[in-house]
């Protein structure tokens, strides 16, 4: 009587193996996105850091800089379900989260939940500042708790779930400021700048020629979840943690370490989410670079993306032309 040998259990990769996989995956993702988007290497790097840290990201830039294309390319390269919400002034919260609809079957009526476009792994909130705060607030629970409550029922969102939003910084007609609580839910604010002259030439040629490409996935969802679980386990030096906390505290006008420009122009500095974003983002950055631990260089690199959207400036700052970036440069000089 023959017996079938039991299959040997598949061992989970070690953290060192996952670190090597993270570096390789990041390189392949950069190459895949570059097939669709010319340039914007720093923007892609920021998006990958947010992705690895399982955080949300806000992409800020003028129209036509491929913000939407960057997010859709990332979803294609990861083979994740992708949902896009075009934010408009008449958008309702139910248009994002979904709603209960009346369903009739065999003479029996019941309410059935119809999921909205937020029920995807990667959600693009396009031009998020074009909708009123009430509708923007529909994202708050989803971004923080990764679930939505409609009526009396709470519905879990897919895993993974991340929001990449876009905002146009120059247009004021028909736009609404993002509430502070909303901005604070974004791990990073990534600024998308104009391409260089050579890059713009390549864009002009590529987008006016027959160029249709669909990205093949470079990583499955299971591997992505393994890499995302690795990031919190990445060690970080005590000096790096102290620097992250020092940066966050120095943005608060009442803090004894706040530099003079912060005391003069900042109404409210970052809360604890600011230092948390710096530490988690530093760990993700280290993992993507194949480094076994995060250090002060990782924290320094993320100072502006992690903190600038958490500052609330005074009216005097606007009148004097003072920007969040200029204030953070003062913070960087004050905190060593």
Percentages helix, strand, coil for the chain (3-state, rounded to 5) are 45, 15, 35
Query: Would you state the pLDDT for residue 2?
Result: 46
71 exposure class (CB count in 10 Å sphere: 0-12, 13-18, 19+): buried
How far is Cα 334 from Cα 336, in angstroms, rounded to an integer?
6
The whole model's pTM is what?
Answer: 0.89
Going from the C-alpha of 120 to that of each of 11, 79, 112, 146, 270, the distances in angstroms are 30, 12, 19, 11, 30
What pLDDT tens digit does each residue of the chain (336 aa) get?
A: 445 445 545 566 787 888 888 888 889 999 988 888 888 899 999 999 999 999 999 999 888 888 888 988 898 888 888 888 888 888 888 888 888 787 777 767 777 888 888 999 999 998 888 888 888 888 888 888 898 888 778 889 998 899 999 988 776 666 777 888 888 999 999 999 998 999 899 889 888 887 666 778 888 788 888 888 899 999 999 999 999 999 999 999 999 999 999 999 999 999 999 999 999 999 999 999 989 899 999 999 999 999 999 999 999 988 999 999 999 999 999 998
* Whole-angstrom distance, CA of residue 109 vs CA of residue 107: 7
Parallel, antiparallel, or unpaired: how do β-strands 56-60 and 162-167 relate? parallel
Same fold: 14-208 with 234-336: no
Q: Which two tokens stand for residue 33?
A: 């996105």
Q: Which fold has domain 234-336?
A: Helicase, Ruva Protein; domain 3 (1.10.8)
Query: Given this model, what pLDDT does residue 247 score?
Result: 96
**How many C-beta neighbours within 10 Å does residue 228 have?**
19
Q: What is the pLDDT of residue 305?
A: 96
SS3 187: strand
Name the burial class of residue 189, with classes exposed (0-12), middle (13-18) and buried (19+) by CB atoms within 10 angstroms of its CB.
buried
Q: Where are the domains of the chain?
A: 14-208, 234-336
Give the C-alpha separation, 52 to 287, whole Å: 8
Query: Which residues is 166 bridged to in the sheet?
Result: 59
- Report which DSSP code applies to 14: P
The label of the residue with tokens 């993507």 reads 288
DSSP secondary structure string for all residues of 233-259: GS-B-HHHHHHHHHHHHHTSTTSTT--
> Does domain 14-208 bear CATH number 3.40.50.300?
yes
């Amino acid at each position: 009587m023959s017996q079938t040998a039991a299959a040997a259990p598949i061992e989970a990769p070690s953290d060192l193996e996952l670190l090597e996989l993270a570096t390789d995956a990041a390189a392949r993702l950069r190459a895949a996105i570059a097939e669709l988007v010319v340039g914007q290497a720093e923007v892609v790097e920021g998006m990958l850091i947010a992705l690895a840290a399982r955080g949300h990201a806000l992409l800020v830039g003028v129209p036509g800089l491929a913000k939407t294309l960057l997010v859709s390319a990332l979803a294609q390269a990861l083979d994740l379900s992708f949902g896009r919400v075009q934010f408009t002034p008449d958008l309702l919260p139910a248009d994002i989260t979904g709603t209960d609809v009346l369903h009739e079957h065999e003479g029996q009526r019941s309410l059935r939940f119809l999921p909205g476009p937020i029920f995807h792994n990667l959600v693009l909130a396009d031009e998020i500042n074009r909708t009123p705060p009430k509708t923007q607030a529909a994202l708050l629970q989803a971004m923080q708790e990764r679930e939505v409550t409609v009526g009396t029922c709470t519905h879990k969102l897919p895993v993974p779930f991340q929001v990449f939003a876009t905002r146009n910084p120059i247009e004021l007609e028909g736009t609404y400021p993002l509430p502070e609580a909303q901005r604070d839910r974004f791990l990073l604010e990534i600024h998308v700048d104009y391409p260089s002259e050579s890059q713009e030439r390549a864009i002009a040629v590529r987008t006016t020629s027959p160029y249709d490409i669909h990205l093949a996935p470079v990583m499955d969802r299971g591997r992505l979840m393994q890499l995302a679980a690795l990031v919190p386990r990445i060690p970080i030096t005590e000096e790096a943690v102290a620097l992250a906390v020092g940066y966050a505290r120095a943005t608060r006008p009442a803090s004894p370490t706040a530099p003079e420009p912060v005391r003069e122009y900042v109404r409210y500095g970052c809360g604890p989410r600011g230092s948390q974003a710096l530490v988690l983002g530093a760990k993700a950055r280290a993992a993507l670079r194949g480094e076994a631990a995060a250090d002060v260089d990782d924290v320094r690199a993320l100072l502006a993306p992690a903190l600038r959207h958490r500052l609330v400036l005074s009216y005097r700052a606007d009148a004097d032309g003072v920007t969040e970036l200029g204030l953070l440069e003062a913070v960087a000089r004050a905190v060593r």
